[in-house]
Amino acid sequence: MDESKARQSIYAMADLVTPMSIRVAATLNLVERAGNAGATAEQLAAETGTSAPALRSLLDHLVSVGVFDLGDGRYRPTNLGAQMREDAPLGIKPLLDINCAGGRADLAFVELLETVTTGAPGYVRRYGRDFWTDLDANPELRRSFDTQMNWRYQVQAPQIAERFDWSRFPDILDVGGGEGTLLEAILQAHPTVRGRVLDLSPATTAAAERFTAAGLDDRAGTIPGSFFHPLPTGADAYVLSDILHNWDDDHVREILSGCREAAAPNGTVVVIEAIRDRGTSTAMDLFMLMCFGGRERTVDELTSQAGECGLMLRGSGQVSDERTALEFAPTRHSPV
C-alpha cells in the first residue's frame, strides 16, 4: 500500500463524522419519524426542534454512507438505517442514543487520553460523577441501562441456563442480577431450583414483575440491596454474572469477600464472565477501563483475586458463546 492510501485508511478508521451522525440520528428518532413514506428535512426539523439546514447536512451525509435514501426531496431509511428502529430485532438503538446509558457512556471515549494517562475512568472526567452514581441520579438512564442488559442477555441467558448444572443448587442468589433475565432462564430450565435476585430497588421491582408474568413467583423472589453490603446467608450458590468486569481490583476483592462470607462454609460462588484471551473483544476491554476502571480478566487473574478472598477454584468451563463460569468454594479458613 502506498503512503497516500495508508493515510486515507487510518484516517477513515479515526473519522468521527459518520459515527456521530448515526448517533445523533438515533437520538432524534429520525428513522421512526421518517418511516417508510419518508419525510423532508423541513418536516423532520419541525418534529425534532432542530435547524433545518443543519439537519439537511446531517441527512445528506447519512445518504452518502447508505443509511438513508433521498428521492423527491424526502429522506427514507434504508435497510441499514432501519437497524436504528426502536423495535429492530438487533435491539441496538439504546447503544446509539446518546440520551441512553450505553450511548452516553460511549461519548466518554473523548476522555480516553486521560484514562490512558492516569488509569482513571474517563466517564468521571466527562460527567463529573461515576457511571453508577449517574444512573442513581437519573431514573431514565437507569431504565435504559436495565433494558440494555436484558438485550445483551437475550441469547446468553438460555445458554448459561442449559449448559451449566444449576440443579445442584436448590437455592440460588443472583447477586446484582438486574431485572432477573438470567434467573428466569435458570428456573425455567431447572424446575427444582428456587432463586432470588439481589439488586437495587428499581431493578428488583421489574424482576418481580418478570417472575410473576412467567409464572415463577412461587420459586423466585427479589431482595432490594447492594452487593457492597452484607449478603443474605444460606443460599447454595451465589452468582456473579457480568459483575466483576465493571470494577477495579479493590472493588472486585470487596465483592468476592462479601460472597465468600455469605457462602461459608458450604455454599458456592459462581462467577460468570467474558474471559480475556478467550475471544473477548479488545474494544469491550477498553470500554470497561474507560467507563468503570474495570477490565476483562483471565481465569488466572480471577482465581488469584478469589484466593485472596478465601475462595478456591473448583472448576471452570464455557457456558455460552461468550461466557465462562468459574466455580469457587470457600476455603476452610478466612484470608488473613
Q: Where are the domains of the chain?
A: 3-87, 154-330
User: In this structure, what are the phi and psi dihedrals at residue 154, rounded to the nearest 5 degrees?
Assistant: -65, -30
Each of the 336 residues of the chain gets a pLDDT tens digit; together they read 556 665 668 888 899 999 999 999 999 999 999 999 999 999 999 999 999 999 999 999 999 999 999 999 999 999 999 999 988 877 889 899 999 999 999 999 999 999 999 999 999 999 999 999 999 999 899 888 888 888 777 888 999 999 999 999 999 999 999 999 999 999 999 999 999 999 998 889 999 999 999 999 999 999 999 999 999 999 999 999 999 999 999 999 999 999 999 999 999 999 999 998 886 889 999 999 999 999 999 999 999 999 999 999 999 999 998 899 999 999 976 554
CATH placement of domain 154-330 = 3.40.50.150
* Residue 332, pLDDT score: 73
- Per CATH, 3-87 and 154-330 having the same topology is answered no
DSSP state of 69: E
Fold of 3-87: Arc Repressor Mutant, subunit A (1.10.10)
Owner of C-alpha cell 431485572: 179
Owner of C-alpha cell 462454609: 265
* Residue 201, pLDDT score: 87
Instruction: Say which of 61, 190, 229, 245 is annotated catalytic.
Output: 245
List, in sequence order, every residue forming a beta bridge with 221; answer none if it has no partner. Answer: 196
* Residue 335, pLDDT score: 57
Q: Is 245 a known active-site residue? A: yes
CA–CA distance, 266 with 212 (Å, rounded to integer): 31
CA–CA distance, 240 with 228 (Å, rounded to integer): 13
* Residue 11, pLDDT score: 85
* Residue 336, pLDDT score: 46
List, in sequence order, every residue forming a beta bridge with 316; answer none if it has no partner. Answer: 326
* Residue 153, pLDDT score: 79
CA–CA distance, 25 with 32 (Å, rounded to integer): 10
User: Are the C-beta atoms of residues 201 and 208 closer than 8 Å to each other?
Assistant: no
Q: Where are the beta strands (DSSP E) in 166-308?
A: 171-175, 194-199, 220-224, 237-241, 268-273
Residue 213 exposed, middle or buried by CB count within 10 Å (0-12, 13-18, 19+): exposed
CA angle 143, 284, 155 (to 5 degrees): 60
User: Are the C-beta atoms of residues 41 and 47 closer than 8 Å to each other?
Assistant: no
- Cα Rg of the chain (Å, integer): 23
